[in-house]
Amino acid sequence: MSNEKTLRLFYELKPGVTLPGDWFSGKIPTNIEVGENTVLDSSFCFKHYFSALPVGFRAGSNCTFWRTSLAAEENALIEIGDHTYIANASLVCSEKISIGSHVLIAGGVTVADSDFHPIMPAARIADTIALSPVGNRSRRPFVSTKPIVIEDDVWIGCNATILKGVRVGAGAIIAPGALVIEDVPPAAEVAGNPARIINR
């Protein structure tokens, strides 16, 4: 009989628990709601989760989060439907990201609902000063955010990026490496930088 530890690939996702055998010494947040049979590979998924809302993360049933970063700022909400699989992707949320059911998100994908810094040069300099070790974070300039909606049955290929304010319609396909800055109609396929419809 071997004394080697059995490697657990996935753990059931439940609020407030510490995962036995997890390589990362974190704890699952308590302000989440999760359906049945939803799993993740490590509490590291929540390393950058700072939502202070009563519910900052909501996932349906039969979802899988593998090497996924669920990064949420203080007033952020991430919502995900049933039977969605997210692999080695990054959800970076300042306000709200909504992902439907039966969505597949591949490795290297980034979904971000904010620029996380000002766009204009003078404001960027002021922001850099406010964020410096001797700065005052309460004096940060305004940073724009717009919710993202990804509807049901969407497939997002490796290394694609979806930016603030975008709605991806049901059944759409986002090609690998696409930079999505505008809404994608239902059942459309988009590719390129910036992403354009290549098939409908």
b/e string for 10-31 if b means 16 or more Cβ within 10 A? ebebeeeeebeebeeebebbeb
Look up 117 and say whether it is catalytic.
yes
Considering the chain, what is the average pLDDT of its residues?
93
CATH, domain range 45-199: 2.160.10.10
Instruction: Please give the residue that has the higher pLDDT: either 146 or 8.
Output: 146
pLDDT band at residue 1 using 50, 70 and 90 as cut-offs: very low
pLDDT at 3: 41
pLDDT at 169 over 90: yes
Q: What is the mean pLDDT of residues 113-123?
A: 85
- Do 132 and 114 touch, CB atoms closer than 8 A? no
Given the residues 48, 83, 102, 117, select the one marked as catalytic. 117
Share of the chain above pLDDT 70, in %: 96
Higher pLDDT, 43 or 131: 43
Count other C-beta atoms under 10 Å from residue 120's C-beta: 9
Greater pLDDT, 23 or 170 = 170
User: Taking 90 as the threshold, does the pLDDT of residue 6 lie above it?
Assistant: no
Instruction: Check residue 200 and give its pLDDT.
Output: 63
pLDDT at 2: 44
Residue 191, pLDDT > 70, answer yes
What is the Cα–Cα distance from 174 to 192, expressed in whole angstroms?
9
Q: How confident is the model at residue 156 (pLDDT cuts 50, 70, 90)?
A: very high
| Whether the predicted pLDDT of 139 surpasses 90 | no
Average pLDDT rounded to a whole number, residues 52-64: 98
Tell me, yes or no, if the pTM score tops 0.85: yes
How far are the Cα atoms of 14, 102, 198 from residue 77, in angstroms, in the given order? 17, 20, 32
- Rounded CA separation 124/195 (Å): 26
* Domain boundaries along the sequence of the chain: 45-199
State how far the Cα of 64 lies from the Cα of 153, in Å rounded to an integer: 15
Distance, in Å, from the CA atom of 157 to the CA atom of 175, rounded to the nearest integer, reads: 5
Binned at pLDDT 50, 70 and 90, residue 110 comes out as very high
- Higher-scoring residue by pLDDT: 124, 26: 26
Instruction: List the beta bridge partners of residue 78.
Output: 57, 97
- Average pLDDT of span 72-92: 97
